[in-house]
Structure 1
Amino acid sequence: MTMTQDRLLALRDLLRDFELPLEHAHQGPFLGAALRQLRDDGLDRLPLPGGGDTLRRWQALATVAGADLSLLKLYEGHTDALAILAELDGDALPGTWAVWAAEPPGVSVRIDTREDGQVRISGSKAWCSGAAVVEHALVTVKDEQQRSQLVAVTLAQPGVSVGSGGWNAVGMAATHSVTVDFDNALARCVGGPEEYLQRPGFWHGGAGIAACWYGAASRLASYLRYGHSDDPHAMAHLGAVDAALAGAAGALRECAGWIDEHPAAPSELAARRVRAQVEGAVEAVQWHVGRALGATPFCRDRRFARLAADLPVFLRQSHGERDLAHLGLHLKAGHEEAWAL
């Protein structure tokens, strides 16, 4: 079952009235149930990146992002895990998945021993979104030679401990992005050392995150489009928002087409470029919507306020000027004309 146009419409219909419960304690289980519903309905079976229908995949991600960014965080991780497993010939066990690949300084997971084609892992993994509600995870660990190795872990086993603290942000709070501790937990290797980072799909997935940013920004912009008078200043802000989103949409379509035409080609430059383009558009949307609407929706509209709090945190999956510097270095090292029309 794949994401046809009809199923994309079904996804939009299902999420049209999605809203997290007000009580913070109930948000995690609610998100877990919503993710399982999407999986049970087959709405997680997205076209694989580079398979000829990358734009449809990104449209699904943008749709979920427009409904709720915390749900999107879990949904994107789950669908990314399925794509990674398909690319690296790993078996996807039934259930919900996450991808935990952050490598902050001083916190890591290592392979302790190998046994019967599997490995035992120990250590701590930070920024584990959805840890309390998903069933399996793809986790980056260090092998015996300190190389990055991707492993698949089932969480309901001895030696896996999900933390409960460490996330103090108001934005994206429902994702419960906590630290998970592993103590001689059983896992299996997915692909070889460094293969997770070197595969073509790594940057395909990175570009897809920009589609998530776009979907959330489009939803934020809708409050200005449909909920304001024809005040000329508001209309000027709306015009600026439209121009920014149209440019970002064009960049996403172009990048998706390029990936489908060159599925095995190095795509870091294309991915970094589209991420920078969309990030700039999203920041413009945030500024213009806030200027046009003033304090009222931030204070009186719970869904708007949640989105306005979640989006800046989620957007920081970009590394700002560091990402732009990498883009500049790639461009500097190239030999083709970059800006020919």
Structure 2
Amino acid sequence: MNSHASLIERLTCQLGQLAVPLAYPSQELRQLVEARLDALPLPGRGCTLERWRALAAVGACDLSLAKLYEGHTDALAILHELGAAGHAEADTPSTWAVWAAEAPGARVRLHVDGDSARISGTKAWCSGAQDVSHAVLTAWAPDAEQPQLVAVALRQPGVSISTAAWQAVGMAASASADVHFDEVPAQQVGAAGAYLARPGFWQGGAGVAACWLGGAAALAQALHRACDPASGRPPDAHRLAALGRVDVQLAAAAALLRETAAWIDAHPQADAQWMALRARQCVEAAARQVLDETTRALGATSLCRDAAFARRAADLSVFIRQSHAARDDAAIGGQLAQRHSPGVPAWTL
């Protein structure tokens, strides 16, 4: 058994011992980090699918945990890709987040003086801010046209966190906060604009869809169990039809993720936007159908008397909104329209 398969096996074993839904996923994140179950293969290095299998396994367990785990492992990948992996190395395991959303009226300013850098301002949509120890985030130098990534320790003076605006039901436990910085020391990571320009941006963006797929598959498992003859219930034609439709959607989404992972490994320095967006949109569509089919087939009982199912359904409906919906469809179309040949290999066998 190779080391990556062993890691996924150990990760799955530890996840299987958790009682879901999780009340405090940040605690489980720390446990996974302390057990070195965050040491995923880097994307584009030949084992991207193994990386995504780990993300899907966490997503199947708990999507709020998956949100934090994906952010942590993405931060480690970013630091490695931009030659700043030393920031994540410490005697005490650190937990990381990536905060790159640029919300209106919430921008972090960067001031550089020689070798020192400080940040001030507010960053919105900061998942796990109350619990993670470090973050990689975007900040803006005066008159800059592109943001600069910085790494910052959060447990220091000048950092204040507010969850007052977070009124979520789905993904509530991921606790996305507003974080204010007041002249807080930070370390620059890469050059200005490197966050979006690096190949890993879209490689990581496709990996988020693996979390969605894991969450959708967990919902589908509940429908599968309800259709199992061993459950003692008579066969229900409507549930069986729903299970069939769910199977088609999840199998297609999983196949496209496998194809995308293989393409990324074969083209590690290429712009993966088209492949990543196509995979994300496919998985999002599958997740939406799984949500619809499972809740219709299982009825209100699953949403009202099964805490794990109800939480997964609420979490998944919010998490997939990380997609940009029709704007991502238009981006895919735009990529295709710019290609010289009208023949698209992915449409043929």
TM-score computed with the length of structure 1 as normaliser:
0.95
- Residue 221 of structure 1 is matched in structure 2 by 220
- Residue 336 of structure 2 is matched in structure 1 by 331
2:127 to 108, 111, 129: 129
Contact 1:3 1:45 in 2 (8 A): no
Whichever residue aligns with residue 219 of structure 1, its letter is A
Deviation at 1:31, TM superposition (A): 2.1
Contact 2:260 2:279 in 1 (8 A): yes
Q: Equivalent residue of 2:179, what SS?
A: strand
Whichever residue aligns with residue 227 of structure 1, its letter is A
Q: Bigger shift: 262-271 or 114-123?
A: 114-123
Q: How does 1:27-38 map to 2 (within 5 A)?
A: 27=23, 30-38=24-32
2:319 to 287, 308, 314: 314
Q: 1:3 to 1:311 in 2, by over 3 A?
A: farther
Q: How does 1:3-152 map to 2 (within 5 A)?
A: 4-19=4-19, 27=23, 30-90=24-84, 91=86, 92-94=88-90, 95-111=94-110, 113-146=111-144, 147-152=146-151
Q: Bigger shift: 137-146 or 113-122?
A: 113-122
Deviation at 1:21, TM superposition (A): 6.9
Q: Equivalent residue of 1:127, what SS?
A: strand
Contact 2:130 2:161 in 1 (8 A): yes
Deviation at 1:279, TM superposition (A): 1.0
Q: Bigger shift: 132-141 or 10-19?
A: 10-19
- Residue 200 of structure 2 is matched in structure 1 by 201
- Residue 258 of structure 1 is matched in structure 2 by 263
Deviations along 1:212-254, one digit per CA (max 9) or x if unpaired, are 1101000010000012342111101000000100000100000
Contact 2:122 2:179 in 1 (8 A): yes
CA distance in 1 between partners of 2:115 and 2:97 (Å): 22
- Residue 288 of structure 1 is matched in structure 2 by 293
Structure 2 segments unaligned to the other structure (5+ residues):
228-232
Tell me how large the CA RMSD over aligned residues is: 1.4
Structure 1 segments unaligned to the other structure (5+ residues):
none
CA distance in 1 between partners of 2:196 and 2:182 (Å): 25
Contact 1:117 1:188 in 2 (8 A): no
Q: 1:309 to 1:21 in 2, by over 3 A?
A: closer
- Residue 340 of structure 1 is matched in structure 2 by 348
Q: Equivalent residue of 1:206, what SS?
A: helix
Contact 1:3 1:56 in 2 (8 A): no
CA distance in 2 between partners of 1:118 and 1:333 (Å): 43
Q: Bigger shift: 141-150 or 128-137?
A: 141-150
Deviation at 1:7, TM superposition (A): 1.9
Q: Bigger shift: 252-261 or 117-126?
A: 117-126
Identical aligned residues as a percent: 52
CA distance in 2 between partners of 1:7 and 1:18 (Å): 17
Aligned residues: 333
TM-score computed with the length of structure 2 as normaliser:
0.93
- Residue 212 of structure 1 is matched in structure 2 by 211
Q: Equivalent residue of 1:227, what SS?
A: helix
CA distance in 2 between partners of 1:258 and 1:82 (Å): 22
Q: Equivalent residue of 1:193, what SS?
A: coil
- Residue 240 of structure 1 is matched in structure 2 by 245
Deviation at 1:340, TM superposition (A): 3.0
Deviations along 1:149-191, one digit per CA (max 9) or x if unpaired, are 1000000111111113111110111111010000111101100
Whichever residue aligns with residue 319 of structure 1, its letter is H
Deviation at 1:117, TM superposition (A): 1.8
